[in-house]
Chains A and B, each alone.
Chain A
Amino acid sequence: MQGHSLATAAFALLSRDLRLAFRRRGEALSPILFLLMVATLFPLGLSPDPEQLAAIAPGVIWVAALLSSLLALNQMFHADLRDGTLEQLIISPWPLPVMALVKVLAHWIISGLPLTVVAPVLGLGYGLDGATVKIMFWSLLLGTPTLSFIGAIGVALSVGLHRGGMFLALLVLPLFVPVLIFATAGISASAEGFAVGSHLYLLGALLALAVSTAPFAIAAGLRISIS
Chain B
Amino acid sequence: MLRVESLSFQRGQVPILEKVSLELEAGEVLMVRGENGCGKTTLIRLLAGLIPAQPDFKVFLDDQPYHPQQVQTRLQFMYLGHALGIKDELTCLENLEFIARFLGGRSDISPLGSLQSCGLDGYQYTQARRLSAGQRKRLSLARFLLCPARIWLLDEPYSNLDAEGLTLVDRLLQKHINEGGGALITSHGTFIPQVTNHREMILEVA
Q: A and B: direct contact (Cβ < 8 Å)?
A: yes
Interface presence of B83 (CB below 8 A)? yes
Query: For the complex, what is the distance from the CA of A8 to the CA of B105, rounded to whole Å?
Result: 12
- The A78-122 residues at the B interface (CB cut-off 8 A) are 81-85, 87-88, 90-95
Which of these binds chain A: B28-36, B48-56, B193-201? B48-56
- The interface residues of chain A lying within 8 Å CB-to-CB of B106 are 1
- The B73-130 residues at the A interface (CB cut-off 8 A) are 74-75, 79, 81-90, 94, 98, 101-107
Closest Cβ of chain A to B53, distance in Å, is 10
Q: Give the bracket for the number of chain B residues in contact with chain A.
A: 20 to 34
Interface presence of B71 (CB below 8 A)? yes
Query: For the complex, what is the distance from the CA of A1 to the CA of B102, rounded to whole Å?
Result: 11
* Chain B, residue nearest A9 (CB): B102
Interface presence of A163 (CB below 8 A)? no
- The interface residues of chain A lying within 8 Å CB-to-CB of B105 are 1-2
Other-chain contact of A91, B79, B90, B104 (Cβ < 8 Å): B79
- The interface residues of chain B lying within 8 Å CB-to-CB of A23 are 89-90
Interface presence of A162 (CB below 8 A)? no
Contact A82 B83 (CB under 8 A): yes
Which of these binds chain B: A12-20, A124-132, A195-203, A204-212? A12-20
Number of A-B contacts (CB under 8 A): 83
Contact A227 B52 (CB under 8 A): yes
Secondary structure call for the B interface? loop
Q: Give the bracket for the number of chain A residues in contact with chain B.
A: 20 to 34
Contact A93 B75 (CB under 8 A): yes
Query: For the complex, what is the distance from the CA of A12 to the CA of B87, rounded to whole Å?
Result: 14
Known: A12-B101, A93-B74. A227 touches B85 (CB 8 A): no
- The A7-35 residues at the B interface (CB cut-off 8 A) are 8-9, 11-13, 16, 19-20, 23-24
Query: For the complex, what is the distance from the CA of A226 to the CA of B84, rounded to whole Å?
Result: 15
- The interface residues of chain B lying within 8 Å CB-to-CB of A24 are 89
- The interface residues of chain B lying within 8 Å CB-to-CB of A9 are 101-104
Query: For the complex, what is the distance from the CA of A93 to the CA of B76, rounded to whole Å?
Result: 9
Other-chain contact of B74, A16, A84, A85, A91 (Cβ < 8 Å): A91
Contact A12 B50 (CB under 8 A): no
Contact B82 A84 (CB under 8 A): yes
Interface presence of A3 (CB below 8 A)? yes
Interface presence of A134 (CB below 8 A)? no
Known: A8-B101, A12-B98, A12-B101. A88 touches B79 (CB 8 A): yes
A8-B104, A13-B102, A20-B90 known; 7 new pairs, CB 8 Å cut-off, are A1-B104, A81-B83, A83-B85, A83-B86, A87-B79, A91-B48, A93-B71
Q: Which 9 A-B pairs have the closest CB atoms?
A: A84-B83, A4-B104, A1-B104, A12-B101, A23-B89, A84-B85, A88-B85, A93-B74, A12-B102
B→A interface (CB under 8 Å): 48-52, 68, 71, 74-75, 79, 81-90, 94, 98, 101-107, 148
A sample of 15 cross-chain residue pairs with beta-carbon separation below 8 angstroms, ordered by A number, consists of A2-B107, A12-B102, A20-B90, A23-B89, A83-B86, A84-B82, A84-B84, A87-B79, A87-B85, A88-B79, A91-B68, A92-B74, A93-B75, A95-B71, A227-B51
